[in-house]
Amino acid sequence: METPQSRKVQPSKRSVLLALRYYGRELARLRRLTVPTMLLSALGNIGINYIAPLIVAKLVGDIADNRDVSVGSALPYVLGFVGVLLFAETLWRIALHCLNRLDALGIEHLYVIGMDELFAKDAAFFHDNFAGSLTKRVLSFATRFEQFVDTLTFQIVGSFVPLTFGAVVLWRYEPLLVIGLLVMVAVTAVCVVPLIRRRQELVDEREEAIARVSGHVADSLMNMDTVRAFAAEGREAAEHRARVAASRRLTLRSWDYGNLRIDTLVAPMSVLTNALGLLLAVTLGGGAHGVEAIVVAFTYYANATRIMFEFNQIYRRLESSMTEAAQFTELLLTPPTVLDPPLPETLVRGAADVRFERVAFTHAGGRPLFEGLDLDVPAGSKIGLVGRSGGGKTTLTRLLLRMTDVDSGRILIGGQDISRLRQADLRSLMAYVPQDPAMFHRTLRENIAFARPDATEAEIRRAAEAAHVTEFADELPYGFDTMVGERGVKLSGGQRQRVALARAILRDAPILLLDEATSALDSESEILVQEALWRLMDGRTALVVAHRLSTVATMDRLVVLDRGRIVEQGSHDELLAAQGAYAKLWQHQSGGFLDDSPARAEFP
């Protein structure tokens, strides 16, 4: 399903300027490479396209004046011509050597910046954007730097700096030659600019269509099991074909506009400029410089008109690189809602008690969930959070992790307001096991060690044994070195939960957050894993979300939530004796699970 964020990919002027700022910073950071790249390529072009023709013009002028030039008298011109070309070629090779390193180092750094910027985003951002679309944008943000720098080097600096040199030379021959050239360039620019603005609108539409294609591809591939289960391959393929066709139509429209409108205008203007240069040179040919001036003027005007003729290609390259880079920087214009404080408090590791004080929270676009909620979780206590779906159980864990922030009130750990701590420091206190554990497309060992990358092999093995991972790991083709597949697709749901539990055990954090951590386990495995969990929870603060009440019946305290309110709390026996909301839930269980049917008894 497309969200407003996934549909809005047209870059704004702000995002384009932000992309330019990032690229400009890279050029400045790598100026030891930027300067020689730009300077030497421009000097090489001056040598090849302006100084070498100037030598030829001098030779032609001497021939026209003397009409009897020997090989000996022409040799200095020939040697000078060859020397200039060889020197210019040497400068070009040095410039290319620097350019390759400038591109590589810039792309590397932009890759890092792109991921750092994404890591700074909050959880809601990733819920609102396709992973495939984000991947495309961050990759384009980095890789388009190469096209941007190459175009800047060869087509802009490498053309317009030499053209300035040519204008100075022409001025020495006859100022009218320079004035005529500037007039024609100005007229062409005035005619082309409005067309460029229209083409930018077409490019925005094209990039939006491309982003929709990449988003749909990622969405389909990530849910291929569901696609196959519902025999929806044909439907998804048809949707893909429709999106690709729309992308093709919009791409051709933007390309044709450049070819039929911009190039069709620039081409005749280039011809007229060449004709004007030749006419002026011939008209003024009887001056002090004679034939030499005609040759120089004709050659330099030809160089200028070549740049004018290539203007659309130059613009298209810049436009393509900046538009795709701006697809990423557009995401950065909306700051994350969860931020580290400017002056964070130092984390004090000690008592791991948790307290929610007058917490208010509303899901985006929804009704208020929590309004003045209070909950105390003493250090070392084991709290079970129960209630029907939508009551706020999982939201409490996410607020505690600061995946999202409270609207008002505060949450304390060990007496410290979590909003005043660095997010990394806060989360170092917790081990979290969600209902649908995330697996990386890495080895089984790496997935477990993700909680503590510095863990030894023995520690990883002990955690795996405690979570009963070894029961299936040793049967895998490569044991703990087996790749688990994207999102752990090679493992069953129960196996993924055991890996997530092993990860939590290895984390060895003072606070445990378990959100339906055993829901995918069979009864036999659950008994074994719960034994490991009880050992893990010993001496730690634990908040356990459960629909299966039998998994939390022995907790120190059970908290019953309904629509964001705590309607009851107490031990299992106390709540059963009270014959209230919990007792009704217990009675309505079937096979140990909650019945979420709205027809069942309501909470008070």
Give the per-residue pLDDT at 601. Answer: 36
Give the per-residue pLDDT at 38. Answer: 93
User: Does the structure show a pLDDT above 60 at 6?
Assistant: no
Q: Label each residue of 347-410 as H, E or C.
A: CCCCCCCEEEEEEEEECCCCCEEEEEEEEEECCCCEEEEECCCCCCHHHHHHHHHCCCCCCEEE
Structure confidence by residue, pLDDT tens digits, 342-354: 899 998 887 789 9
User: Does the structure show a pLDDT above 80 at 472?
Assistant: yes
What are 385's two structure tokens? 């959070």
Give the per-residue pLDDT at 520. Answer: 62
Rounded average pLDDT over 567-571: 91
Structure confidence by residue, pLDDT tens digits, 11-21: 678 888 999 99
What are 258's two structure tokens? 């450049």
Q: Please report which helix (H) or strand (E) contains residue 251, including its range.
A: helix 233-257
Give the per-residue pLDDT at 417. Answer: 93
Give the per-residue pLDDT at 69. Answer: 64
| pLDDT cut 90: percent of the chain above it | 25
Rounded average pLDDT over 315-324: 81
What are 132's two structure tokens? 């495939």
Residues 6+ apart with CB under 8 A from 359: 370, 372, 373, 374, 399, 406, 408, 409, 410, 411
Mean pLDDT, the chain, integer: 82
Give the per-residue pLDDT at 600. Answer: 36
Residue 596 or 170, more confident: 170
Give the per-residue pLDDT at 259. Answer: 64
SS3 of residue 477 by DSSP: coil
Residue 266 or 504, more confident: 504
Asked if domains 7-330 and 350-429+551-604 share a fold, the reply is no
Structure confidence by residue, pLDDT tens digits, 555-568: 899 999 988 899 99
User: Does the structure show a pLDDT above 60 at 407?
Assistant: yes
CATH (residue range 350-429+551-604): 3.40.50.300
Rounded average pLDDT over 96-109: 94
d(CA 519, CA 491): 15
User: Does the structure show a pLDDT above 90 at 361?
Assistant: yes
Give the per-residue pLDDT at 596. Answer: 46
Residues in the chain: 604
Give the per-residue pLDDT at 39. Answer: 94
Could you tell me the fold of the domain covering 7-330?
ABC transporter transmembrane region fold (1.20.1560)
Largest distance between two CA atoms of the chain = 123
Rounded average pLDDT over 150-165: 88
* Other beta carbons within 10 Å of 483: 16
Give the per-residue pLDDT at 19. Answer: 92
User: Does the structure show a pLDDT above 90 at 123?
Assistant: no
- Asked whether the beta carbons of 358 and 372 are under 8 A apart, the reply is yes
- Asked whether the beta carbons of 562 and 600 are under 8 A apart, the reply is no
Q: Highest mean pLDDT range out of 29-33, 50-54, 116-120?
A: 29-33
In the sheet that holds 354-362, the strands lie side by side as 368-377, 354-362, 408-413, 416-417
Give the per-residue pLDDT at 264. Answer: 65
d(CA 307, CA 163): 9
Give the per-residue pLDDT at 456. Answer: 92
Domain map of the chain by residue range?
7-330, 350-429+551-604
Give the per-residue pLDDT at 10. Answer: 54
What are 61's two structure tokens? 């002028």
Q: For the whole model, what pTM was predicted? A: 0.71
Residue 341 or 595, more confident: 341
Give the per-residue pLDDT at 256. Answer: 74
Structure confidence by residue, pLDDT tens digits, 253-286: 877 776 666 666 666 766 676 677 667 666 665 4
Rounded average pLDDT over 316-324: 81
Specify the amino acid at residue 560: V
Q: Residue 519: which of 536, 498, 488 has the closest Cα?
A: 498
Give the per-residue pLDDT at 34. Answer: 95
Q: Residue 238: which of 246, 458, 325, 207 has the closest Cα?
A: 246
SS3 of residue 417 by DSSP: strand
Residue 598 or 242, more confident: 242
User: Does the structure show a pLDDT above 50 at 590?
Assistant: no
Give the per-residue pLDDT at 217. Answer: 83
Q: How far is CA 486 from CA 437, 473, 525, in A?
A: 12, 17, 24
Give the per-residue pLDDT at 593. Answer: 47
